[in-house]
Amino acid sequence: MRVFRENIVNAENLIVIKEESFPYNEFPFHNHPEYEIIFIMESSGRRIVGDSITEFSAVDLCMFGSNLPHTFYTKGLSADKEAVKQVVIQFHENFLGPGFFERPTFAGIKDLFSRSARGIVFGDETIANLSVIIQKLVYKDPAGQIIGLLNILHALSQASDITLLSSPGFVNQINSSESTRMGNVYDYVLQNFKREISLDEVATIAYLSPAAFCRYFKKFTRKTLSEFILDLRIGYACKLLQSQSYPGISWVSVESGFNNISYFNRKFKVLKGETPMQYKRRFAMKKAW
């Protein structure tokens, strides 16, 4: 897997709207000049957005700003099945002409664009309000799609159930060689996070000395390598805990890359604010609702 820069919307299309289905998502860490709204109807796994690593499950609605590096990774991270079904909307900020959204009338949408520079994930209320509207947008004619997109942007700009993903200080203007290097590192760690990974071996993937790699990695992720791996392991543990049947907490601990269940329980509570068993019970109650 290598990271690359996409150029999606050509001169003949004002926007791109597509519905996609595939077995799993291992799309490279990438960026593109277009803004992007992704509505995932089926899947679960991890989203990596700038320097943020977060989990998602079942349905997910996100918006990414121009040139913000991102990817969704589901291969091997779904506890029950691996399937992805999603609608993707991509557009340039000036798709309706230069300065269109600079007008006071569209101040809310302009602010939405600014916030999306960090990546936005929307909550259940917004998803419920827009789910059908986004899915129907795929089948509209070009004029209807543009009108529909404006309505969606307006609704997103009014949403209060939002979470900003990447940190304010994240540097997303990375050049191609740096992007490819970091993508190779991400790919290697995503494929191997369940086992012990040494600093030396990951530094080798990046063609850097261990000391230089530590500085490089912290620059782009705002985390140390061990913190990054811990996030992945805890996220994977959450997927296993969400499964309908599982052998027990000890099994989840081992499957997630932890050889010490006490350490697993302690770190899980630090990151999630509750024990693995409490998480399991809360998730079961949420599904019952």
**Does residue 116 belong to any structural domain of this protein?**
yes
Q: Check: CB of residue 120 under 8 Å from CB of residue 164.
A: yes
Q: Say how many residues make up the chain.
A: 289
pLDDT of residue 67: 85
Please list the rounded mean pLDDT of every run of 10 residues in the chain (289 residues).
48 82 74 92 82 81 91 63 83 91 93 92 96 95 95 96 80 59 83 91 93 89 88 84 79 92 94 89 61
- Per the DSSP assignment, residues forming a β-bridge with 73 are 26, 46
- Please name which of 189, 62, 123 lies closest in space to residue 72, comparing C-alpha atoms: 62
112: which 2 tokens? 């939405």
258 and 181 in a common domain: yes
Which residue range(s) make up the domain with 109? 15-164
| Residues whose CB is less than 8 angstroms from the CB of residue 274 and which lie 6 or more positions away in sequence, other chains included | 268, 282
Phi, psi (5° rounding) for residue 84? -125, 130
- Please name which of 150, 168, 147, 167 lies closest in space to residue 109, comparing C-alpha atoms: 150
154 and 19 in a common domain: yes
139 and 75 in a common domain: yes
Report the 10 Å Cβ neighbour count for 5.
Answer: 15
pLDDT of residue 3: 38
pLDDT of residue 1: 35
Report the alpha-carbon distance of residue 34 to residue 36 in Å, rounded: 6
**Does residue 134 belong to any structural domain of this protein?**
yes
* Strand intervals (E) in the chain: 15-22, 35-42, 44-49, 52-57, 60-64, 70-73, 84-91, 120-122, 162-164
pLDDT of residue 76: 57
232 and 204 in a common domain: yes
CA-CA distances (angstroms) from residue 235 to 184, 231, 281? 21, 6, 16
279 and 186 in a common domain: yes
Report the alpha-carbon distance of residue 197 to residue 212 in Å, rounded: 17
> Which CATH number goes with the domain that contains 123?
2.60.120.280
